[in-house]
Structure 1
Amino acid sequence: MDSNDLREMVSLLLLAGALGMDAFSVSLGLGMQKLRLKRIAIIGFVIGLFHMAMPYIGILLGQVISGRFGEWAELLGGLLLLGIGAQMFFSAFREQEEMLFQPAGFGLLLFAFTVSIDSFSAGLSLGLSQSKTLFVIAAFGVMSILLTWLGLLIGRKVRGFFGRYSELLGGSILAGFGLFTMFG
């Protein structure tokens, strides 16, 4: 392995960490819901799978799709996060009602898709630069799984400190991250 390959791998690992940080940030908010450890493990794996599939699709389509599509995908992802965060925030005021968003089934798939949008955009640009596809996919997946678990577990602990207000804080984090995704 020459120095250019090593530099490329280090750069890709840093990119994987940066892209996994959105999963970490959003997982902090989600972790403030009442989640069991088994659910936390499943959420981490599903987000990891999406962080592997989305850049792979992006890499495959990188030669075909223009940069404009990536901007629209980020806007859509930001809107979805904002909506989920707002719903979580306002549901904290209604004790007896069940949340519309649950991190299971379709809700989990939608959530994982939303936090993986930027991986798709990164995959588009990596597809243009002919990066090492297998390494990219593995790095993105592993990093996002680990950071998602970390965020969920920290959020779970913080929930105990904040009690009933944890949903307000969690919803605010998700909505804020959605706004940051759209405008930041």
Structure 2
Amino acid sequence: MFLEIDGNKVFSLSFGSGPRTLLTHSGWVGNFEDWIATLAPLSGRWRTVVYDHRGAGETQVPVESISVDAMVSDVFGVMDALGIERCVLGGFSRGVIIVLRAALRHPERFDGLILMNGYGEVTAPDGSTPPRVAPSRWPGETHPDRLRWFAERCVPEPDSEHIRRWAFNILSRSSAEAAERIATMEGEPIDWQR
């Protein structure tokens, strides 16, 4: 189902019912499918909700609107649109940044956080930052070339063709423009005080 949030169409799915709600989203280029196997067994006791953030999956937003701050605001837009006052919020990969920033913005709206395989920009006590390891632009001339490059590095084993195909299919749901915008966000500094 699509939720209307600030004039944008945000895709979400809800499963089950229960006294508590678990709201989840993926990393930068994942989508709702990343969570289906996890949420299905929980939906007998929980209301589980997954949504595609800006630039991912089925969500429809202008590419220029994709930013970490907008993604954090969308957490609350999804919660409000679905009548969720409080929830456990989960994310993985770069989605952990969205979870942490949302919790810092409105801690009173969360019963707990699920942080899986997260990473982000870090600053040492002396103010220095480590060198970036991710490319500032994804290699390749075309969007499919970039997706293959990413999938091959995430799943390097030669006997994992089916997993590479899955990764390619998931990643290909992002438009070339959205993927490029998200790739440039890799170096976006995170202000943990916001």
Question: Same fold judged by TM-score > 0.5?
Answer: no
TM-score grouping bracket, smaller chain normalisation: under 0.3
More strand by share: 2
| TM-score normalised by L of structure 1 | 0.24
| TM-score normalised by L of structure 2 | 0.23
